[in-house]
Amino acid sequence: MNCADIYFDHNATTALDAAVLEMMLPFMTQQHGNPTSRHSFGRHARSAIESAREQVANAVNAHPSQVIFTSGGTEANNLAITGIASCYGISQIITSAIEHPCVHRPALAMKQRGWKHALLGVDVSGMVRTDQLSTLLNTETSIVSVMLANNETGVMQPVAELAEIARRHGTTLHTDAVQALGKIRVDFAELNVHAMTLSSHKINGPQGAGALILDKRIDIQPIIHGGGQERGLRSGTENVAAIVGFGAACELIQTRLPQHDGHIRPLREHLENGLNKLGAKIFGAGAERLPNTSFFAFNEIDGETLVMALDRKGFAVASGSACSSDSSEPSSVLLAMGVGPDLAKGAIRVSLGMQNSREQVDAFLAALEQELTRLRQMTAIAV
Ligand code: PLP
């Protein structure tokens, strides 16, 4: 890696904040107790976890007793889908067509075991179709899962409205708020959802920590069995240092949110003005989006190729394709929005963070223009 490299991939992960690391370090060295132990080392670790629980709860206006720590967003989503749907026996799971694979795949796994799975569609701007939910819901529905903001487009979803519809039908609504936390205000009580997933490493906390925020009246079964930690819902010795870091990161976002918005929103606007001049198609531009995310494509330019070319120029951005070992499929989020597969294969995502500057965006736009010209010339020669 070149130290001049510019990081534009904050929806993938973020750097650990120095203040967060400082809070974590004692729990990786001297304070190494197991929180289940009765001695002072154990008690100290337990009390650190309980403080972190309060910090996480405060960040989303929930009660500390509603916080179940997990190893990250993936596990919290698996726990929500599998743990809630299992309580109802064979039943129907509804997920939106734009969920992260860690919501979509547990639903598919349950389908293989006999559960039913229905997909809630999105409109051309990437917003979930609230009108479809009432038609999909039936007396067999055990859980509806719709993310608060999409990781690729950044499009924010009408979760409070969906929760209201789900409640009227007597069913449970879970929301994956992994991408929303730290970028917009997230309020568990106000959204009136039953369950919500959070992840630490998207908010300058450590990787390997997350939480499921849970309305305690909800029936849910654990997916990991063992010593009964986290009210029996997530057995296994807690990752104390990571949980402490997650709590510290949650506290930081509370004070930084207005500053974040004030810096990031104009920066994204500046970026998109430049992208429009270069002829980009910006996905979800007509909808309300996270302030830091821009997902776009250029006609006849392959996204993977462009990402690699930009990487060589020192810019870290993401492509919109779901890579498997031997193929790179176009983004399923874009396909669900009705984008054609050719344009979808061209998608790249810039997700900005607090460290990014206007100068970096200008340098990126200049590099992008050069690469577009070069790639188009290469295609013209090949033809
Ligand atoms: N949900 C969304 C929307 C995400 O973007 C991600 C990660 O990219 C996850 C869940 C998974 O979170 P984690 O990396 O903490 O497992």
pLDDT at 327: 57
| Residue 100 CB less than 6 A away from ligand 1 | yes
Fold of 6-14+257-382: Aspartate Aminotransferase, domain 1 (3.90.1150)
* In the chain, where the domains are located: 6-14+257-382, 18-252
pLDDT at 150: 98
CATH number for the segment(s) 18-252: 3.40.640.10
Q: Which residue's entry shows tokens 């051309």?
A: 124
Instruction: Using the mean position of ligand 1's atoms as its centre, give its distance from the Cα of residue 73 in Å.
Output: 5
How far apart, in whole angstroms, are the C-alpha atoms of residue 199 and residue 70? 9
Q: What tokens does 313 get?
A: 């120029």
pLDDT tens track of the chain, all 383 residues? Answer: 555 599 999 999 999 999 999 999 999 999 999 999 999 999 999 999 999 999 999 999 999 999 999 999 999 999 999 999 999 999 999 999 999 999 999 999 999 999 999 999 999 999 999 999 999 999 999 999 999 999 999 999 999 999 999 999 999 999 999 999 999 999 999 999 999 999 999 999 999 999 999 998 999 999 999 999 999 999 999 999 999 999 999 999 989 998 889 999 999 999 999 999 999 999 999 999 999 999 999 999 999 999 999 999 999 999 986 654 445 789 999 999 999 999 999 999 999 999 999 999 999 999 999 999 999 988 777 66
Task: List the one residue out of 286, 285, 251 whose CA is nearest residue 58.
Answer: 251
Alpha-carbon dihedral sign for residues 230, 235, 238, 239: negative
How far apart, in whole angstroms, are the C-alpha atoms of residue 263 and residue 372? 28
Radius of gyration over every alpha carbon of the chain, rounded to an integer in angstroms: 21
| Residue 179 CB less than 6 A away from ligand 1 | yes
323 is catalytic: yes
| Residue 208 CB less than 6 A away from ligand 1 | no
Say whether pTM exceeds 0.95. Answer: yes
Residue owning the nearest CA to atom 13 of ligand 1: 73
pLDDT at 383: 60
pLDDT at 321: 65
The answer to whether 6-14+257-382 and 18-252 have equal CATH topology is no
